[in-house]
Amino acid sequence: MNVIRGFATTFKHVLEDPVTIQYPDEERKFAARYKGRHHLRRYENGLEKCIGCSLCAAACPADAIWVEASENTDEERFSPGERYAKTYEINMLRCIFCGYCEDACPTQAVELGHEFRMSFTDRRDAIYVKDMLIDPPPAGMPGTPQAVEPGKFNRSIPDMPDAK
């Protein structure tokens, strides 16, 4: 009797459409809340949003983020604040993609995107450094560092036009 019930279940599912996605040709749609690879964002003027406060590293439950801050000068300005992230590293093998770093950032510099293709052949390749994470500057804008007029930026969290 149990064998007949088992075959009935099997034959019932044979008539249904398959749910298999042919991966390289088709990609599954992810939810808008999906948290993938990290990005470090920039302001519209090309300056980095990260001010090196290390709140993202403090909020990370997996201890996957390392931030080392340094001071900005008017000759070499990386961010609008007094400091910038000289070193920013994320160990993607430790990261659990919880989004706490994104929530903790006061300038909304850290953002988890929708990229999911991350494969590593070496443990060292799994450490994403600042150059790998930071977005390129907007078209026609200089990258960092920039030289600016003295005293233009004097707040650690500036009033920028696109800050939300």
Q: Which pLDDT belongs to residue 60?
A: 96
CB-based contacts of 145: which residues, under 8 Å, 6+ apart?
A: 76, 77, 78
User: For residue 146, what is the DSSP state?
Assistant: B
Distances (CA, A) of 101 to 46, 53, 67, 95: 22, 12, 12, 10
Which of 67, 129, 125, 65 shows the shortest CA–CA distance to 97?
65
Can you read off the two tokens belonging to residue 36?
A: 């993938």
What is the tens place of the pLDDT at every residue in 71-106?
Answer: 988 888 898 888 999 999 999 999 999 999 999 999
Each residue of 13-41: pLDDT tens digit? 888 887 888 888 888 888 888 999 999 99
Q: What is the mean pLDDT of residues 149-164?
A: 60
Whether 137 and 42 have beta carbons less than 8 Å apart is answered as: yes
Question: In this structure, what token pair is assigned to residue 47?
Answer: 């300056």
Instruction: Name the pTM for this structure.
Output: 0.76
pLDDT at 98: 93
Q: Which CATH number fits domain 30-150: 3.40.605.10, 3.30.565.10, 3.40.50.720, 3.30.70.3270?
A: 3.30.70.3270
> Which two three-digit tokens encode residue 54?
């290390």
The token duo for 112 is 């988890």
